[in-house]
Chains A and B, each alone.
Chain A
Amino acid sequence: MKRVRALSLFVLISIASFGAAPDMPRFRFENFTTANGLPDNHVFTVLVDGDRVWAGTENGLALYEAGKWNVFTTADGLAHRAVLSLALDKNTGDLWVGTMGGLSRVSGGRIDTYTQLNSGLSNDVVYGVGVQGEFVWTATAAGASRLNTRTGEWSLFNERNAPMDEIWAYAVSTGADKVYYAVWGGGVLEYTIATGRWKNYTDPDGENELVLFKDQGLIHKITTSVSYVDKVLWVATYFGDSHYDGRNWHNFMAKDSGLPSNFTNQVRGLDARRAWFCTDKGLAYYDGVNWAVYRPALDTGKPEMYVRDVAGTITPITVSTAPAHNYILALDFQRDDIWVATAKGLSHGIRQK
């Protein structure tokens, strides 16, 4: 009886608040697949460079420009067909490409490749790449590498010279003062540029892989993504997500937030308050108070959007389009629009309001 009453109350609140849902971004999604030019539907990553959009797929690097796709493969010099990560050097315009077979640089149409055999790169599996000034940082299956593009010097960071419990570096995010790594099983590593020192963030008690109490520390040491923006760190894991402002942690799980799933492939902070979460059950946006989720419905596959407000009230929003798939791998921004890499195509979210 108690459960029925609670359910009735939830329904009433939902109905009552139906017309007063927080105003969250709405998009019309246009999806790209192999049917309209992508080299593969499995899109690991996406990067926006002005009006150009780069997509890293399982079968090559694709560039969307002036309404057309151009594909770069190993025949063009790409290190490997599976493109896992992308980073733009905004100063030079060069694109850095992390693949399953090394690191490539696309510059003025030329592709140069660095591998563990022909260069100082620590490992050919480059999960993440980031540019910080003249340095290119990579997250590889054997730790972190840093290339000084002016001198050609490679510096490797691993269990021998950094607090890296594991060396399976999964992602990197660079800022003017810090570089952060998501290390799969090793938590988060913080590199302070001014001092050249490393610090790690892992399970607070040092015994478990996860926090025992909410907001105690990093939510889980199996991290998948980091995003450093406005001196705030956003962290994604397969067990929820974290926000760290340098003093306090705040954690998000599906049970106590608007996250559609704890399984998060990537987090992208917009600023210190707002972020996007790429999960296995859809794309989520958090504006610091409210949440919105965009996906094909998990049961019917029909386009779905809903908003969760601060009180936990969920309001469905009528939409006619959704990202190409609910398994979201990555995202990037193009002014007010978003580009979304999914397991079944690349989606362009065109901002409607």
Chain B
Amino acid sequence: MHRFKKRSCPSAPLAFTSAVTVVLGFLIFAGAARAKPDSDEARYLSPREMVLSPDGVWLYVMCEGSDEVRVVDTRTGRVLKAIGVGHVPRGIVLSPDGKQIFVANSWDDTVSVIDTSSFKVVRTLTTGFEPNGVVVDRENKTLYVANRLSNDISVIDLASGQETKRLAAGRGASYLLLSPDGTRLYCTHVYPKIGAHRTPPESEITVIDTQRQVVIDRKPLHNVAGVFHLAASSDGELTVAAQLRPKNLVPLAHVEHGWAFGDSLAIFGDDVNGVVQVPIDELARYFAMPYAVAITPDKKKLYVSSSGSEVITVIDIPKLLSYVKSANAPIANDLSASANYVVTRIPVGRNPKGLLLSRDGTRLFVANRLDDNISVIDTSNDVVVSSIDLGGKKDMTSLRRGERVFYSARFAFQGQFSCANCHIDSTFDGLQWDLEPDGFGKDIVDNRSIEDLSGTEPFKWNGGNPNMATECGPRTEKYFYRSQSYNSAELADLVTYVMALPYRPNRYRLPGGELTPAQERGKAIFERTDNKFGKAIPESNRCAYCHSGPKYTNQKLFDVGTGKKTDRSPLIDVPQLPNVAYSGPYLHDGSARSLEEIWTIFNPNDKHGFTNDLTKDELNDLIEYLRTL
């Protein structure tokens, strides 16, 4: 989700229309309730996560697009309040006593604390870089926040409001789950570790002892990149995480053979032996981007939202466990396996994200992020019985339509994946891909960030796509989706959306925008024209020559000595540098695992900038400056 401009948040209760029917204390909607204030029409809400008050009356819906929490009365289906929070909220949790809501504001590096009696933000806490998941312990004393860009977990003492420590998580730490007994905290990650070049992706589930507040274990997830929400059974013996298994070491030409992504679950706990990965796809149909998971209190059913496929997958847990126990070999890649435990697929809205079960397990709420509504599912028969319209802008703009195209897998062969598979939350995936049908291991490309792209054309590492329409249109159709892909209107909308993706806040700049002494020294190195021996550096060997202009690219091709024998050409498109700090690994094929390695390993002949006269201190300064861009 992305912000395109700062918005104000309404505080007045919103009025709604629509007839409602109440069944079992929950609202079953015949039609949609609508929020009507004029200010509400100006923005899309993009609901992403939800929590429910202990008495089941209030549904708190965190809206990523409007920077607010909308409060829904489940008895009437009306949105009573919109509580403004920070920028791009991504995580929400209710305190054990139900008196407070904590919302992680990913672009502000804060947590908003909402008083549920007044529906007001009463406190703001500071976190690490890009907070995402948030969990409070059972004693209501400690808040844990997963920080996606600093790859760690903030431990915040709620009495003082101070962060007491940061625990090292994995790359892209994003989602948290407290075990039912409160003794363990699990953290998943949307990006894989940066490992050796061209090796299978590896992720982990970080395990924290909540008594000692230290990391005690890291459950390895082999061949896994993005991992999302977790859920645990009430007896604590089964924990499930939604995950993506990318097959990035083989050419993407093998989409028709199912070699792009595996949508799957990682399950662990006393019910199984170790960590077991199980697919949710079928042999000829995929359920892209599994995101949230929910387990019914009786431990009979498991629900999975497929955010790219507009369905909720329903899994029979006893059948799943029975099948896993009887399997003689790993089943993660056996797409016939799902027939043994998937009982149905429930169609819902666009880009379904967060799932929430009522306490008695009779209702499942689904946040349809790109429809601005909530699907309510009756879990007795797994049918959508109503939809809660949260309000928000109703007119479809090209931007919103493009966002829907971006997040939908319906354009790809067998619905295997969408743009968002590789550009998680419209960023990147930390992987290197073999995209074209030119043989195994040729023209390997690192996935680049796609924020703030205007003025960075051409696209692709070899500069082969002169504009985004080519990149997203025929190129995608031919090399990625293996299908007819988009019509011209859809392509235009998609291009509009992608080109409008904004620049995320840079965390390395001082609040006033000035540079630290180290960054100033680095800037001088970046802009220098003479080497340390007093000789002029050839123009093409100066950092600021190729990396010039507002996006730090002169939009040309150069041979900087990093081409491989397996590349068709040594000429590389000069990449833009905004927020380069976050998008490792580096170089066109991702062979440099850190910014340092670009120059300590891959620049022996000074072709990628004249740098071999620099001391280690000076190289560190240069990197400190690059991180501010």
A interface list, Cβ under 8 A from B? 91-94, 105, 107-110, 112, 116-120, 122-123, 134, 142, 149-151, 153-156, 158, 160-161
CB distance from A298 to the nearest CB of B (A): 43
CB under 8 Å from chain A, chain B span 104-163: 128, 150, 152
Measured CA separation A107–B170 after assembly (Å): 11
CB of A149 within 8 A of CB of B518, answer no
Please, which residues of chain A bring their CB within 8 A of the CB of B204? 110
Measured CA separation A213–B623 after assembly (Å): 48
Instruction: Identify B214's interface contact among A93, A118, A150, CB under 8 A.
Output: A93
Q: Tell whether B215 is near chain A: CB-to-CB under 8 Å.
A: yes
CB distance from B454 to the nearest CB of A (A): 29
Question: Looking at the complex, which of B61-69, B275-283, B590-598 is the stretch in contact with chain A?
Answer: B590-598
CB distance from A35 to the nearest CB of B (A): 31
CB of B518 within 8 A of CB of A153, answer yes
CB of B620 within 8 A of CB of A92, answer no
Q: Tell whether B88 is near chain A: CB-to-CB under 8 Å.
A: no
Q: Tell whether B57 is near chain A: CB-to-CB under 8 Å.
A: no
Instruction: Identify A118's interface contact among B128, B167, B218, B600, CB under 8 A.
Output: B600
A-B interface pairs (CB < 8 A), number: 74
Top 4 nearest A-B pairs (CB, nearest first) are A93-B214, A108-B215, A120-B620, A117-B600
Measured CA separation A134–B155 after assembly (Å): 13
CB of B215 within 8 A of CB of A92, answer yes
Please, which residues of chain B bring their CB within 8 A of the CB of A149? 166, 168
Instruction: Identify B207's interface contact among A92, A94, A108, A156, CB under 8 A.
Output: A108
B interface list, Cβ under 8 A from A? 128, 150, 152, 164-168, 204, 206-207, 212, 214-218, 507-508, 518, 593-594, 596-597, 600-601, 615-617, 619-620, 623-624
CB distance from A124 to the nearest CB of B (A): 11
CB distance from B69 to the nearest CB of A (A): 28
Q: A122-B617, A123-B616 are in contact. List 5 more A-B contacts (CB 8 A).
A: A91-B165, A107-B218, A116-B600, A134-B166, A142-B616
Please, which residues of chain B bring their CB within 8 A of the CB of A134? 166
CB of A110 within 8 A of CB of B218, answer yes
CB of B596 within 8 A of CB of A107, answer no
CB of B166 within 8 A of CB of A154, answer no
Given A107-B215, A158-B617, are A92 and B166 also a contact pair (CB < 8 Å)?
A: yes
Please, which residues of chain B bring their CB within 8 A of the CB of A154? 620
Instruction: Identify A94's interface contact among B168, B596, B616, B623, CB under 8 A.
Output: B168
Instruction: Identify B217's interface contact among A91, A105, A109, CB under 8 A.
Output: A109
Measured CA separation A349–B335 after assembly (Å): 59
A-B pairs with beta carbons under 8 Å apart, 11 shown: A92-B167, A92-B168, A92-B214, A108-B216, A117-B600, A118-B596, A118-B597, A150-B152, A150-B166, A153-B518, A160-B617
CB of A93 within 8 A of CB of B215, answer yes
Given A92-B167, A94-B168, are A153 and B617 also a contact pair (CB < 8 Å)?
A: no
Please, which residues of chain B bring their CB within 8 A of the CB of A108? 168, 206-207, 214-218
CB of A116 within 8 A of CB of B616, answer yes
Measured CA separation A149–B215 after assembly (Å): 16
Measured CA separation A105–B615 after assembly (Å): 25
Please, which residues of chain B bring their CB within 8 A of the CB of A119? 594, 596
Residue of B nearest to A149 (CB): B166
Please, which residues of chain B bring their CB within 8 A of the CB of A91? 164-165
Measured CA separation A105–B169 after assembly (Å): 12
CB of B597 within 8 A of CB of A120, answer no
Measured CA separation A116–B601 after assembly (Å): 11
Measured CA separation A19–B600 after assembly (Å): 65
Measured CA separation A34–B46 after assembly (Å): 61
Please, which residues of chain B bring their CB within 8 A of the CB of A151? 150, 507-508
CB distance from B251 to the nearest CB of A (A): 29
CB of A117 within 8 A of CB of B597, answer yes
Measured CA separation A30–B128 after assembly (Å): 45
Residue of A nearest to B220 (CB): A110
Given A107-B168, A118-B600, A142-B616, are A150 and B216 also a contact pair (CB < 8 Å)?
A: no
CB of B150 within 8 A of CB of A150, answer yes
CB of A117 within 8 A of CB of B128, answer no
Residue of A nearest to B147 (CB): A150
Please, which residues of chain B bring their CB within 8 A of the CB of A153? 518, 624
Residue of B nearest to A150 (CB): B166
Please, which residues of chain A bring their CB within 8 A of the CB of B600? 116-118
CB distance from B391 to the nearest CB of A (A): 39
Please, which residues of chain B bring their CB within 8 A of the CB of A117? 596-597, 600-601
Measured CA separation A92–B153 after assembly (Å): 11
Residue of B nearest to A93 (CB): B214
Please, which residues of chain A bring their CB within 8 A of the CB of B596? 117-120
Please, which residues of chain A bring their CB within 8 A of the CB of B164? 91
CB of B217 within 8 A of CB of A150, answer no
CB of B623 within 8 A of CB of A120, answer yes
CB of A118 within 8 A of CB of B593, answer yes
Please, which residues of chain A bring their CB within 8 A of the CB of B619? 120
CB distance from B478 to the nearest CB of A (A): 37
Please, which residues of chain B bring their CB within 8 A of the CB of A107? 168, 215, 218
CB distance from A305 to the nearest CB of B (A): 38
CB of A122 within 8 A of CB of B168, answer no
Residue of B nearest to A123 (CB): B616
CB of A122 within 8 A of CB of B593, answer no
Measured CA separation A94–B216 after assembly (Å): 10
CB distance from B602 to the nearest CB of A (A): 10
CB of A93 within 8 A of CB of B212, answer yes
Instruction: Identify A150's interface contact among B128, B218, B620, CB under 8 A.
Output: B128
Measured CA separation A108–B167 after assembly (Å): 10
Residue of B nearest to A122 (CB): B616
CB distance from A132 to the nearest CB of B (A): 14
CB of B597 within 8 A of CB of A109, answer no
Please, which residues of chain B bring their CB within 8 A of the CB of A93? 212, 214-215
Measured CA separation A107–B187 after assembly (Å): 14
Measured CA separation A154–B217 after assembly (Å): 27
Measured CA separation A94–B623 after assembly (Å): 26
Residue of B nearest to A110 (CB): B218
Residue of B nearest to A157 (CB): B617
CB of A92 within 8 A of CB of B518, answer no
CB distance from B130 to the nearest CB of A (A): 13
Measured CA separation A150–B127 after assembly (Å): 11
- Most A CB contacts (10 A, CB to CB) among B150, B616, B623 go to B616
Please, which residues of chain B bring their CB within 8 A of the CB of A94? 168, 215
Please, which residues of chain B bring their CB within 8 A of the CB of A161? 617
Residue of B nearest to A155 (CB): B518
Please, which residues of chain A bring their CB within 8 A of the CB of B593? 118
Please, which residues of chain B bring their CB within 8 A of the CB of A105? 168
CB of A120 within 8 A of CB of B218, answer no
Measured CA separation A142–B214 after assembly (Å): 32
Measured CA separation A312–B624 after assembly (Å): 57
Measured CA separation A151–B149 after assembly (Å): 10
